[in-house]
Amino acid sequence: MKDLVKAEFRKIFGESPEGLYFAPGRVNLIGEHTDYNGGHVFPCALTIGIAGAARKRNDRKLRFYSLNFKELGVIESSLDDLTPREDARWTNYPKGVIWAFEGRGMKLPCGLDLLIGGNIPNGSGLSSSAALEVLTGYLLRDLYGFDLTNIDLALIGQYSENNFNGMNCGIMDQFASAMGKKDSAIFLDTATLEYEYAPIRLEGKKIVVTNSLVKHSLVGSAYNDRRNSCETALKELQTVTDIKTLGDLTEEEFEKYKYAIRDEDRMRKAKHAVYENRRTIRAEKALKDEDLPLFGKLMYESHASLRDDYEVSCPEIDVLVEAAGKVPGVLGSRITGGGFGGCTVSIVEDSAIDAFKEALTKDYQEKCGKTPEFYIVEIGNGPEKLNIG
């Protein structure tokens, strides 16, 4: 990917890039829709992601090109027009990061050319948008000499997606991409941003991501509706108990105070946020204790809650999880990411991987008329500057 983006940059823009960069996608092992509810998440960065080649310009132009959307050609903009536009397509993400930088007083003295290429499947729920935001922040820091930490880059990426792109996401995706560590998951308290790395020991087992090929589009969708439901439920609960976030509650406390939530659907959305947070805390301990059967059981419970209470699954994803549960050697499986399509994540014994692929492919073809894609993923580091060679 590095050699490709470097060569294509020369071809498209006529000069060599000043820098080559990479930012990873992520998969969340457990802890879904807890990151904007003050709860815990447990993601890890992947070795797949987005590579970018960039060069500063002598004017205020911004020029963007994606190897994944070649048909769109070069999309031009300007530092004087940092507004989201429908016809700007994918470039609204890097433009949003530049806008957020400038909002923090880090104004770019000149424009840039940026060419990207990625091997994260589009719409898969593996956070291509967060990877692009972190990549953009990382290369801006390097090219223009800004003084920022990687956590700053994650926060800027989240802020830009919330306020420039209109997607009211939590911090998990950007944090996982910015702070990834090889062979470790990140146990992150989203209320405080306190985190620790948990080594992943999967002797004889693999993390398998299965792509349903149902592309999710979260901006302007039911994702924001669910966040609004949780915020309203929190306000109702705050009339009867002293909490700052839904993540402050145990399951027992939620059951005690849930009468304050004056809508059944809203109550189920809040219940998921509370119970999922506690599942994530137990799952992290199970991993430390090397109790992978318990970890897998919690994954299945997480999916059931996301399907029934939070209602962010879809029939195709449910077929994949149900099929996984019937294969000997599969410890756990669940939807991963924001939902409404995308991927499942499963922990599968090495000896069962072929049977896992065969069973899921058969069920999925019969019930959904599609052939799923499988990725045996490796856990990688966060963003980096690549050797330009």
Active-site residue list = 173
User: Checking phi first, is residue 220 left (phi over 0); if not, alpha (psi -120 to 50) or beta?
Assistant: left
Residue 331 neighbours by CB under 8 Å, 6+ apart: 205, 292, 293, 295, 296, 299, 346, 347, 348, 349
Exposed, middle or buried, 103 (CB in 10 Å: 0-12/13-18/19+)?
middle
Beta-carbon count within 10 A of 112 CB: 23
Of 266, 270, 223, whose CA–CA distance to 243 is shortest?
270
State the first-to-last Cα distance of the chain, in angstroms, to the nearest integer: 13
202 alpha-carbon distance from chain centroid: 22
In the 8-state DSSP scheme, what is residue 372? Answer: -
Tokens of residue 370, six digits: 């599609």
